[in-house]
Structure 1
Amino acid sequence: MTDPDAIDGVPEPERRQRARGHDEARQAVLGTLAAGRLPGAIMLHGPQGIGKATFAFEMAVALLTATGDEPEHRVAEQVAALSHPNLFLLRRSPKDSKGFYTVIRVEEVRQVRDGLHHTRGRSGHRVVVIDSIDDCNPSAANALLKTLEEPPADTTFFLISHRPGQLLPTIRSRCHNLALRPIADADVEAVLREHDPALGQTELQLAVTLAGGRPRRAFETLALAPDSALGGLQAWLTNPLSHPTAVPLSLADALGASSQGPELSFAREMLFDWLADEARNAALPPLNRARLASATELWEKANALFAEADEINLDMKQTLAALFDAISRHVALTQPAAEPQ
């Protein structure tokens, strides 16, 4: 396995090569390619799991085909095998038979840089996919910056980032930034059906609902137990005030039962997605200052609660219960109350 973030049974991005959705971004890249104005570096940024790496390899196939002398199907086969001589990939590399390094190291950046200065193995453009730039340690990031400042001719870098705000500003400034967003539910469903046509409708709909436009999250949902409490969390977050007070307590008990379990990690992502959406909606016109201030305070409280729980190994059930209580109070103060069910 070459991808440290791969999910068992799900093809790696280089083998998929067709990202559902992202039509505007696709048109933008292919348009610049057709016009001969392709940037030297393109940063694909957006939430994790929406298909940015798959999109990068799709664009790599298009670029290598358009500038090379081989048919598309042959190029696609070589990209899928990571064997095309004009394709370079930077990922966290295997540390041993049991796992991967936690970062992209400077020696790996230098290896790619040196390879780009050799005579190309085939006619046409060269493509470098960095999946993800967020994984570069400081030395690797600085080495990469030097390459971006003096890029080799006829070479395009696709830098994938889940957190572009945390990158060196000088790296961001060297790239054409292209934002990718979560895809439509219908596209997530199509990805799942392509992967497993035998999926049952109930299982499929739960995965699509919990995915929130992220195919990766949908695949993670399929790996969970059928009676996972995540569906209950999704329903509660839709309108916390419409549920009995016992519901968030039972959710905290179920989700916090294992501090290392996949359900808790998934729940944390869902909670922070909800908090981010709440702050974003509060900032939309007409601006609701009180709701925005409360949402911002809630975001900070959530980060503090989880940080404390992680640092001193607190009971995650109590952490979740405290956060659920804070969310309920925020909604009660800032939104019209719904009739209890």
Structure 2
Amino acid sequence: MTVPDAIADVALPEQQVGVVGHHAARASINAQLAAGRLPGAILLHGPQGIGKATLAFTLTREILTATGDEDAHRVDEQIAAGAHPNVQVLRRRPREGRGFYTVIRVEDVRELREELHMTRGRSGHRIAIVDAIDDCNPSAANALLKTLEEPPPETTFLLVSHRPRQLLPTIRSRCHNLALRPLADAEVSAVLQAQRPDIEPDELAQAVSLAGGRPRRAFEALGLGADSPLGALQAWLRAPAAHPAAAHLALADALAADRDSPDLSFAREILTDWVAGEARSAAVQTDRMRLASANELWEKADALFAETDALNLDMRQTLVTFLDAIRKHVHATSSPATQQ
């Protein structure tokens, strides 16, 4: 089974029986299923890597078991093998030769639509999973919208989105929207241990700390080297103003040593997550000055990294500039006691 962005030795979403977390969303759909009011389209949206696709396949199993004439075990087997005739999955397709297309194309959506209008292979509902709808190019998105406007009978679309605000408003309005959140650390730990039962405690703790509630990132963290500078970055962010002024220069040197390294990718997410957390904390505490400063910091990060990527600028200097901006933010918005 060929899937874009798959991680080696990690089970695909369709191969995982059950999902960790997202209890409220799952209960909501099951309640509508039991009442015979299943939506024609469900948009599962939230940060990438939190288990949205796994939830989509779990809901698919539950819908097919409830509406069809096969038991749960048989349904599980067919979905895991990609062989259930009532399930269609739309993802970026493999290119001839090597790799995958960068988008879901309009011809892919048309093929899906043709499949859904054929006679179903089993009794019960049909399910179409789009993972992820963000990958649709404009023509594909418009073709999918037409299908959502005139859906085949007894068919439910499960649309996975990491960036719902970038979708066509008309697509969002056709869907029952379920916003999903990152998992708790204990839930991320459970996901990792289920697939890596022999993982060492220290390795598990480090992966969970880097995941930010996203199991996918935790699995990616397991591939980092033992000398990764990310631990030093996390320690620095716990008290930016308490470290020597030159500490962030050494951090920038280490993180920017290899522009294509996973350490740098993780570092950028850790930094933006820190700023987002700072803004949330300021909002909860109704600290307007701190919130305004955090918002400015977010805009600075967005502009700095976007310009660096677009113009291939020096990543070290970008990191130095942004880490220095974090220090200034903390100095300006924290009391002397909190800077220790």
Question: Which TM-score bucket, shorter chain as reference?
Answer: over 0.9
Shift of 1:128: 0.7
Shift of 1:231: 1.6
Larger CA deviation: 287-296 vs 38-47: 287-296
Distance in 2, matches of 1:200 and 1:152, equals 49
Contact 1:282 1:289 in 2 (8 A): yes
Contact 2:239 2:339 in 1 (8 A): no
Q: Which amino acid aligns with 1:59?
A: L
Shift of 1:225: 0.4
Consecutive unaligned residues in structure 2, runs of 5 or more: none
Shift of 1:281: 2.5
SS in 2 for 1:18: coil
Is residue 2:313 matched to residue 1:321? no
Shift of 1:246: 3.1
Contact 2:131 2:159 in 1 (8 A): yes
Contact 1:86 1:127 in 2 (8 A): yes
Q: Give 1:174-253 correspondences, 5 Å limit.
A: 174-253=174-253
Consecutive unaligned residues in structure 1, runs of 5 or more: none
Distance in 2, matches of 1:232 and 1:19, equals 33
Tell me the equivalent position of 1:163: 163
Deviations 1:18-63 (A, max 9, x none): 2211111111111111111110111001111000000100000111
Is residue 2:270 matched to residue 1:270? yes
Tell me the equivalent position of 1:22: 22
Distance in 2, matches of 1:337 and 1:31, equals 52
Tell me the equivalent position of 1:289: 288
Contact 1:17 1:55 in 2 (8 A): no
SS in 1 for 2:157: strand
Q: Which amino acid aligns with 2:297?
A: L
Q: Give 1:97-176 correspondences, 5 Å limit.
A: 97-176=97-176
Distance in 1, matches of 2:166 and 2:250, equals 36
The percent identity for this pair of structures is: 64
Distance in 1, matches of 2:84 and 2:239, equals 50
Shift of 1:239: 2.3
Q: Which amino acid aligns with 2:130?
A: I
Distance in 2, matches of 1:98 and 1:67, equals 39
Larger CA deviation: 271-280 vs 322-331: 271-280
Residue 338 to residue 205, structure 1, CA distance change in 2 (3 Å): farther
Residue 327 to residue 60, structure 1, CA distance change in 2 (3 Å): same
Shift of 1:276: 1.9
SS in 2 for 1:318: helix
Residue 279 to residue 340, structure 1, CA distance change in 2 (3 Å): closer
Distance in 1, matches of 2:194 and 2:226, equals 21
Distance in 1, matches of 2:247 and 2:62, equals 50
Contact 1:210 1:221 in 2 (8 A): yes
Measured on the aligned residues, the alpha-carbon RMSD in Å equals 1.4
Distance in 1, matches of 2:316 and 2:147, equals 47
Residue 257 to residue 81, structure 1, CA distance change in 2 (3 Å): same
Count of aligned positions = 340
Larger CA deviation: 237-246 vs 15-24: 237-246
Shift of 1:256: 0.7
SS in 2 for 1:99: coil
Tell me the equivalent position of 1:304: 303
Contact 1:243 1:340 in 2 (8 A): no
Runs of 4+ in 1 over 4 A off after TM superposition: 338-341
Distance in 2, matches of 1:297 and 1:339, equals 21
SS in 1 for 2:121: coil
Shift of 1:298: 1.0
Contact 2:224 2:263 in 1 (8 A): yes
SS in 2 for 1:104: coil
Contact 1:244 1:340 in 2 (8 A): no
Distance in 2, matches of 1:339 and 1:163, equals 35
Q: Which amino acid aligns with 2:132?
A: S
Deviations 1:134-191 (A, max 9, x none): 1000000000001111111111111111111111111000000001111111111111
Residue 36 to residue 255, structure 1, CA distance change in 2 (3 Å): same
Distance in 1, matches of 2:132 and 2:339, equals 45
Tell me the equivalent position of 2:96: 96
Q: Which amino acid aligns with 1:78?
A: Q
Distance in 2, matches of 1:17 and 1:231, equals 33
**Normalised by the size of structure 2, how large is the TM-score?**
0.97
SS in 1 for 2:336: coil
Distance in 2, matches of 1:133 and 1:147, equals 13
Distance in 2, matches of 1:22 and 1:32, equals 16
SS in 2 for 1:291: helix
